Amino acid sequence: MSTRRRVVITGLGVVTPIGNDVATFFANLLEGRSGVSFIDMFPTDKLRSDIAASVKDFDPLKFLSRKESEIYGRVTHFTIGACAEALEMAKIAPIPRPVKGQSEEETEAIATAHAKLDSLEDGLDRSRIGCLFSTGMGSVDIFEQEVAKSAARGPRAVSPFFIPGVMPNGGAALVTMRYGLQGPSYSMASACATGAHSISTCAMMIEAGDVDVMVAGGAEAATRQNCVAGFGNARALARAFEGDPTRASRPFDKKRTGFVMGEGAGALVLEEEQHALQRGAKPLAYVAGFGMTSDAAHLTSPLPDGSGLALAMERAIARAGITAADIGYINPHATSTTQGDVAEFRALTRVFGERLPRIPISATKSMIGHLLGGAAAAEAIAVVCSLRDQRVHPSINLDEIDPIFTLDLVRGGPRALDFRYAIKESAGFGGHNCAIVFERYPSA
């Protein structure tokens, strides 16, 4: 019997194209609502794609001062918003922050709180709480803005805040400062597997006993003209399907043509189970196992037989101490690319064999597009909500499943299930693969 510390999830937070909080996000997934629309932030007449899944009605000033919102890019705005929701759910409060116009006594009290975090009286040892929050591409908007200023007016026009504004680790750093988290904090990048790697690495640190709590996740806000041009010129992106942007993201459909770029963030608070129970936090699910591998073959194309991704799933299942027969639901990578979906199907077939057509599968990207570095984190949150509620969302835009795929794809509406284990798998440019097994929490 395993003696590893068990890792539970005690907080969730999202910013997505179909909702800026977990309740709205999951409700819209169950209803099959698409967040894809035509791009209106820049001209698309010379681009190969004209659509994106953009975040709507998100106000960064709810979380940042006006000056901070100017310094930091959209990806950092999303990071702070998602983490704030997740940490509130996990009952971890921010430390007091200096505000304009406060008295010297108030400023001194806040400085004391920073210096003596145990004075917060919540019983948390914040030296054992950290944040690994990641992004695949970083603050593309700030980078473009400052390069344009330099090109137009010379290098002295570049903001002195340029570097902290574009640092990929900026989001994780801001979270630690706001919540007084003195444990490990950093960022990692593995393209579309970034969010899954962040969750897995945090779970590993908790299992090892190095920390008690970690804020994990990923974010992206790269729907900019040059990024859309780059992906489009690589023939990876879809256009509006028959004039309708909401029908463009169609994983496993016979008429799929590419993925839809999305933006947003997903944050999960991971915690050692007994630590959570002792302080009264409510576990939502277990992170039961994870597996990480590399294709070692090509920078942008997956192994055609899916063997690298299959190995990641096999390792995640083995680490969870179960067998493939125990998996009751699969949330796939499912980008909607012609090659990617085929390679993923072959990976799933290698792992689940003849049982695969009887395992319910639903593709979150069909509604929110591909959040790149934030994709796996947002999709993992959908899995946790499904385990909690025992309901899984449908895939939309599956008008005609490609005959090559023998899969039980949930369509037409949500499906009630009775399942204990689910697997979320992701693959990223560079041949990076990661799979995570989530387990239903008994009281959830």
Name the residues annotated as catalytic. 192, 333, 370
Distance of alpha carbon 316 from alpha carbon 312, whole angstroms: 6
3-state SS assignment for residue 216: strand
Burial class (CB in 10 A: 0-12, 13-18, 19+), 164: middle
Residue 120 in tokens? 């917060």
Q: Are the beta carbons of 48 and 226 closer than 8 angstroms?
A: no
Q: Are the beta carbons of 343 and 232 closer than 8 angstroms?
A: no
Distance of alpha carbon 443 from alpha carbon 284, whole angstroms: 8
Distance of alpha carbon 76 from alpha carbon 169, whole angstroms: 9
Is the torsion defined by CA of 329, 335, 336, 340 positive or negative? negative
3-state SS assignment for residue 436: strand
> In terms of Cα–Cα distance, which of 222, 385, 380 is closest to 316?
380
Residue 328 in tokens? 């009751």
Between the alpha carbon of residue 368 and those of residues 6, 194, 247, 301, 315, the distances in Å are 31, 17, 11, 23, 28
For the CA atoms of 372, 373, 375, 378, what is the dihedral angle to 10 degrees?
Answer: -150
